[in-house]
Amino acid sequence: MPTLNLPVARGKIKPYTTKPAKHFPTAKTPFNRVAYAAAHVVADPLADNDPWLTTAIDWERTIAFRKHLWSLGLGVAEAMDTAQRGMGMDWSNSLELIRRSLDAAKDHPGAMIASGAGTDHLEPGANVTIDDVIRAYEEQCAAIEKLGGRIILMASRALAKAARSPDDYARVYGRVLSQVKHPVIIHWLGDMFDPALAGYWGHANYDAAMDVAVDVIADNAGKIDGVKISLLDKDKEIAMRRRLPQGSRMYTGDDFNYAELIAGDARGYSDALLGIFDAIAPAAAAALGELTRGDDKTFHDILAPTVPLSRHIFKAPTRFYKTGVVFMAYLNGLQDHFTMVGGQESTRSTLHLAELFRLADAAGLLADPEQASARMYSVMAAHGVH
């Protein structure tokens, strides 16, 4: 097996030998859980642009990655934060991404896709009103529904800035949800993922915020498929899951505790809408297949080694997790470069990437260790590690 030098703590370099590739069993679909992978975008490394200022997307490879996820039986959560929404991807490019993905889904019978609608074309500011936020949500929802898409209603930075009380959240969500054609997934994204969303639902205290969110869901139950919460706290998710109206799904966005939450307990379980499923898709699909067959032990055996990798990819500052997700796609040959929209490949250290490589290998998630090692060698060499 390949051996290469990788950095460790205190500036030292140590050789690392990879393990043989792991075979994940073919999943039985459909699964007994709804499972979306929030998918990343692939940058165009040959574009003549200023990466921090303008966006260049490799549409062919971006859509090919969605086809990869569908082939495994996973759904695609499109144009979400994993796709660098608000961190390099603006609304114009996001809508084009949604259009292309919806078109591609037509060639995959049964393919699930839901797309993020937000207010990111509205710059938060002191002069932005609640009515401005409503109109911004309405514009994006209408654009997605015009393409035939289903909606994930994303948290709004503009709303977090403009709201003066929880009643403002109830007003915005009530107005927007009253107009959608199909039930949506509400996305509560914690401030560890986006600091601009601190105090969402009108409260800094999560329990008080949850009260508001649950009331909004109950008041609009017929328009809501479920809610995805990304708070990285399993107890908060379980508490909210048990309070949801009958028929409303909880979609886990907890990239630290997903296995336990998806498996569930005697009082219920969470479905999945996860950024980490982008990076661990073969393992996630195989595990869900085993859970569907009733083999809980194998489900946990497959996912347990992926959790340390996920916790590393999503470590603080959590908003930079996209770098690890894209790096996994590069290592596994799903794209031929490690260039990101907005130059985001620079947000994690050489030491971070080295530990990611070791953890991915330990989880059996390097599909071709020879190729992954060669690519890792190139990245390390560019950072002065030989």
DSSP states of 332-378 = TTSSS----GGGGGGGS-HHHHHHHHHHHHHTT--S-HHHHHHHHHH
How many degrees, rounded to 5, is the angle at CA 71 between CA 66 and CA 73?
100
Identify the CATH homologous superfamily for domain 33-382. Aldolase class I (3.20.20.70)
Which is nearest to 359 in space by CA: 318, 319, 320, 327? 327
Predicted TM-score of the model (pTM): 0.96
User: How far is 355 from 226, CA to CA, in rounded Å?
Assistant: 35
pLDDT value of position 179 = 97
Angle between helix 91-105 and helix 130-146 axes, rounded to 10 deg = 30
User: How far is 190 from 197, CA to CA, in rounded Å?
Assistant: 7
Read off the pLDDT of residues 49-96 as tens digits, 9 standing for 90 and up.
999 999 999 999 999 999 999 999 999 999 999 999 999 999 999 999
Which is nearest to 262 in space by CA: 274, 278, 244, 246? 274
Which neighbouring-strand residues pair with 43?
57
Q: Transcribe 178-190 into DSSP letters.
A: TT-SS-EEEEEE-
Read off the pLDDT of residues 122-152 as tens digits, 9 standing for 90 and up.
999 999 999 999 999 999 999 999 999 999 9
User: How far is 73 from 88, CA to CA, in rounded Å?
Assistant: 28
Report yes or no: 350 and 383 within 8 Å, Cβ to Cβ. Answer: yes
pLDDT value of position 368 = 97
Please list the helix, strand and coil fractions of the chain in percent, rounded to the nearest 5, in that order.
Answer: 50, 15, 40
Angle between helix 369-382 and helix 350-362 axes, rounded to 10 deg = 170
pLDDT value of position 26 = 84
Tokens 């043989």 belong to which residue? 20
pLDDT value of position 376 = 98
Which is nearest to 39 in space by CA: 376, 257, 273, 263? 273
pLDDT value of position 157 = 97
pLDDT value of position 29 = 78
DSSP type of residue 268: B
Count other Cβ atoms within 10 Å, centred on residue 157: 23
Burial classification of residue 11, based on how many CB atoms lie within 10 Å of its CB (0-12 exposed, 13-18 middle, 19 or more buried): exposed
User: How far is 361 from 354, CA to CA, in rounded Å?
Assistant: 11
SS3 at position 250: strand
Which is nearest to 100 in space by CA: 52, 147, 136? 147
Which is nearest to 219 in space by CA: 149, 148, 167? 167
Burial classification of residue 337, based on how many CB atoms lie within 10 Å of its CB (0-12 exposed, 13-18 middle, 19 or more buried): middle
pLDDT value of position 216 = 98
User: How far is 270 from 255, CA to CA, in rounded Å?
Assistant: 13
Q: How far is CA 362 from the centre of its chain?
A: 22
Chunked into runs of 10 residues, the chain (386 residues) has average pLDDT values of: 94 95 86 98 96 95 98 97 95 98 96 98 95 98 98 98 97 98 97 95 96 98 97 97 96 98 97 98 97 96 98 97 98 97 96 98 97 97 93
